[in-house]
C-alpha cells in the first residue's frame, strides 16, 4: 500500500516507500543496542520539506520510527537530519524531545548558525552535524564554510558526520583529515563492492582510518551498496554477501570506531526496499563474535552519544568498596 506524503507536496515519481510490517529478527540484539543511523521525514503537513530538496519522500514519523525500534529490539536511536528537510531540524528535534531520552540527533546547520541556536539543539539531544558531499543530493558547499561550523560546534563537544562516495575521497582526503573533531563516515564512504576489497580504492579508505584515529565509520546500508545481493526480502538469511568482506574488514580492524544503523526509512533506494528485520539479521555476518557485536551496537554508540551515562557508570564503579574495605581487612593492622 502506498504511503502518503501529507501537506502541499507530491511524492517523487517512483519513490520506494519503507517496508510495511518488518519481520522479527532472528538475531537477538544485545541489551542496550542502538540504531545509530535513521531518519524521520515530516509528516509534511506538520514539518514541511525544504524548498531546495532534491527529493520528496513519503512521510515517516517519529511514532513510526519508535515502533520500528521496539519491533526490532533496539533500545535507542540516533536520528540523522535528512537532506529533504535542509537545515530546518524541526522534525528531527521534535522526535528527540518525544523519545524520553532514548534518542540523540545529528543536525544540519548553516555557517551563520548562532551560539543560542546550537545550545537549543544541544539541549534537545543533538550531538553532531552532518556534511553531505554526495553531489546528487546537495549543491556544492565550500569547505571553508564547513570549517566555520566546526569551530562553532567545538565548545559543545560535538562530532562531524561526513557522507561521500568513494570516487570523491582522493580529492577530499586532506580536508577530511584536517577536521579536528571526531569524524564519523556514513556507510564506509560508499565503496564499489564490485571491486576488490584489497584493491586501491577501498585501501585508501582503510588508510584514511588508520592515519586518522579520530575517524569512525558506519558499516551500514548494505542494501544501498550491494550489486549482487541477495536482497533482504522473503526471509533471506544470507543477504548482501558482496558487502560482507568490506564491512567485516572495517569492524575487525577498527572495533572501537564502528557504528551500525538501519538507515530507515531508506531514502532514495531505486532497486528494492529491504525488510528491516532481515537487515538486523545481517549484523552477525560482519560482526561475528559477541564482543564485536557489543562494541558495534552498544559500547561505541553509547560512548559517542551518551558519554554522560558512560562516565556515570565509571564513577559508580570507582565508588564501590574493594574486597578489603568490604571485609575490614587492613583496618587494624597488627592488632590481632
Catalytic annotation, residues:
263
Backbone angles phi, psi at 34, to 5 degrees: -120, 125
- Which residues is 34 bridged to in the sheet? 76
What the block records as the C-alpha cell of 56 is: 520528496
- Sign of dihedral through CA atoms 116, 121, 126, 131? negative
What the block records as the C-alpha cell of 155 is: 565548545
Backbone angles phi, psi at 89, to 5 degrees: -90, 15
- Which residues is 2 bridged to in the sheet? none
What the block records as the C-alpha cell of 18 is: 519503507
CA distance 190 to 182: 19
The answer to whether 227 touches 271, Cβ cutoff 8 Å, is no
Closest CA to 103 of 83, 74, 82, 131: 74
Q: In what order do the strands lie in the sheet with 34-38?
A: 34-38, 76-80, 103-107, 126-132, 159-163, 183-185, 215-218, 258-259
Amino acid at each position: 500500500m502506498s504511503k502518503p506524503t501529507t501537506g502541499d507536496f507530491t511524492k517523487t515519481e517512483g519513490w520506494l516507500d519503507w517496508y510495511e510490517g518488518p519481520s522479527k529478527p532472528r538475531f537477538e540484539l544485545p541489551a542496550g543496542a542502538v540504531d545509530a543511523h535513521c531518519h524521520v521525514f515530516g509528516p509534511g503537513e506538520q514539518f514541511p520539506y525544504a524548498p531546495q530538496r532534491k527529493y520528496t519522500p513519503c512521510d515517516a514519523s517519529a511514532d513510526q520510527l519508535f515502533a520500528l525500534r521496539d519491533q526490532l529490539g533496539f533500545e535507542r536511536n540516533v536520528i540523522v537530519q535528512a537532506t529533504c528537510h535542509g537545515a530546518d531540524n524541526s522534525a528531527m528535534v521534535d522526535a528527540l524531545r518525544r523519545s524520553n531520552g532514548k534518542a540523540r540527533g545529528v543536525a544540519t546547520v548553516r555557517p551563520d548558525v548562532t551560539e543560542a541556536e546550537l545550545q537549543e539543539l544541544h539541549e534537545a539531544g543533538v550531538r553532531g552535524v552532518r556534511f553531505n558531499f554526495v553531489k546528487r543530493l546537495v549543491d556544492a558547499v565550500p569547505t571553508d564554510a564547513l570549517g566555520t561550523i566546526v569551530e562553532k560546534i567545538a565548545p559543545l563537544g560535538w562530532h562531524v558526520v561526513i557522507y561521500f562516495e568513494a570516487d570523491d575521497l582522493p580529492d577530499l582526503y586532506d580536508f577530511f583529515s584536517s577536521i579536528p573533531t571526531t569524524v564519523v563516515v556514513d556507510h564506509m564512504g560508499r565503496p564499489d563492492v564490485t571491486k576488490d576489497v584489497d584493491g586501491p580504492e577501498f585501501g585508501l579508505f582503510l588508510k584514511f582510518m588508520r592515519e586518522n584515529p579520530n575517524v569512525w565509520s558506519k558499516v551500514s546500508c548494505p542494501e544501498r551498496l550491494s550489486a549482487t545481493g541477495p536482497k533482504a526480502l522473503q526471509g533471506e538469511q544470507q543477504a548482501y554477501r558482496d558487502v560482507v568482506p568490506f564491512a567485516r574488514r572495517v569492524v575487525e580492524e577498527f572495533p572501537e570506531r564502528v557504528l551500525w544503523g538501519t538507515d530507515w526509512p531508506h531514502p532514495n533506494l531505486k532497486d528494492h526496499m529491504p525488510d528491516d528485520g532481515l537487515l538486523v539479521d545481517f549484523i552477525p555476518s560482519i560482526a561475528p563474535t559477541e564482543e564485536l557485536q557489543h562494541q558495534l551496537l552498544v559500547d561505541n554508540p553509547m560512548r559517542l552519544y551518551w558519554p554522560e551515562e558512560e562516565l556515570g557508570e565509571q564513577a559508580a564503579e570507582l565508588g564501590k568498596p574493594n574486597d578489603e574495605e568490604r571485609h575490614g581487612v587492613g583496618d587494624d593492622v597488627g592488632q590481632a
